[in-house]
Amino acid sequence: MSKGHTIPILHLVRLLLRRNIAVTIFTTNANSPFIRQSLAGTEASIVNLSFPENVDPQLPPGVESTDTLPSMSLFIPFVNAAKLMQSEFDRVLESLPSVSCMISDGFLPWTLQSALKLGIPRLVSYGMSNYAMAVSRVVSRERPHADLNSDDEPFTIETFPWIKLTKNDFEYPFNDPNPKGPHFDFILEAVMATANSKGIIVNSFYELEPKYLDYLNRDAAPKAWCVGPLCLAEPPKVQPLQKPIWVQWLDEMLAKGRSVLYVAFGSQAEITREQLQEIEVGLEHSEANFLWVIRSKRKEFEDGFEERVRGRGLVVREWVDQMEILSHESVNGFMSHCGWNSVMESICADVPILAWPMMAEQHLNARMVVEELGIGVRVLAKKGSVRGFVSAECIENKVRELIEGEKGKEVRKKVKEVGEAARMAMEEGGSSWRTLDLLIEEVCGKK
């Protein structure tokens, strides 16, 4: 229950509907409006469940998705509260006329019990890359970081010896060779539920990361199915009579022949006030044109930042259609947290990435973007660490490198090649198209 997990599943719904598969979506009351708006005009059925209230004093009332949590430190209380929806979920599930398959978010492991009870095959979606899943699996099993003293000390893994990693590339529990506690218990529960499911749906395509998909399907269970990039399933937007202010601004930049850097760090990243100020200074000194979508409780910058960059910089605090922005002809770079949806959308729009990961598996995605795919430039903290405070000077230099430098030209050329491969994978007869057909046939018994 977060936008980053929900959006690709909604895109998958559209692909299933186009193949004459009837789809029923279970959500909660607070999440329902977003889902109904996303699937307006389709034949998908949507069922609202009641999210449990007053389960944990730490959870504010009305919070039903991770992007509305006051802090991601409340993640475990949140997912534990979600487990209490199971009895209502089971009752409604049993009332449906027939169910061929269940697709569940990986962080709802209790849905496996519901599926087994009714004899329904369960597929899992984590919204992660094959690279991140494979590397996390290997590190958890081989524990190559067990004897390291520094979080920045590089290490390699035997299965993929060309990859250099540090402890700072991982969140807990993966950065701890001997993890324990509630967070680890939940991860273990999710992993075990996945292992006993019928498959993993991956928002990626075979040509992007063949080594890692082949490893997962050779060494792990259940089978991973690449059916993406799922953002390409989204139908063309009907432009309203009055375009959003940010689209109007991008149109103006295009008319003036100016290229734009898009800046966004997702809906969950917790950025300190001091770090936000460094971003301000870095963007201002870079002299780049930029559109910054910011999730901050500060209504105005206190130092006149927006006034000083007026004419070449726009700050937006509303929910935006990110794919619409990335696809705009004026946008030629994306300063991103490297959430996997954002990586996929950037690839599909042929826009190179200025990689600045914040949380979850984003550090692994950043390594993949820069070191494996060659479609991005990396932002680093002080002393070259992949995690920590980033200076305004570094931000300024990396923006210039992406927008003006030779490295920027290289990654811009490479991302166009990768973007073309992504589009081919989703076309009829492409690898992801064929994979989805095989998945429907094998798991649901439909041709």
Domain locations in the chain as residue ranges: 3-234+427-445, 245-423
* Topology given in CATH for the domain delimited by 3-234+427-445: Rossmann fold (3.40.50)
**Rounded distance between C-alpha atoms, residue 122 and residue 99, angstroms:** 11
Q: For the chain, which residues score pLDDT lower than 70?
A: 296-302, 446-447
What pTM does this model have? 0.93
What's the pLDDT at 425? 98
Residue 361 is predicted with a pLDDT of: 93
- pLDDT of 175 reads 83
Instruction: Report pLDDT for 275.
Output: 92
pLDDT of residue 302: 63
Tell me what pLDDT residue 298 has: 54
Q: Are the CB atoms for 259 and 39 separated by under 8 Å?
A: no
CATH number of the domain at 245-423, please? 3.40.50.2000
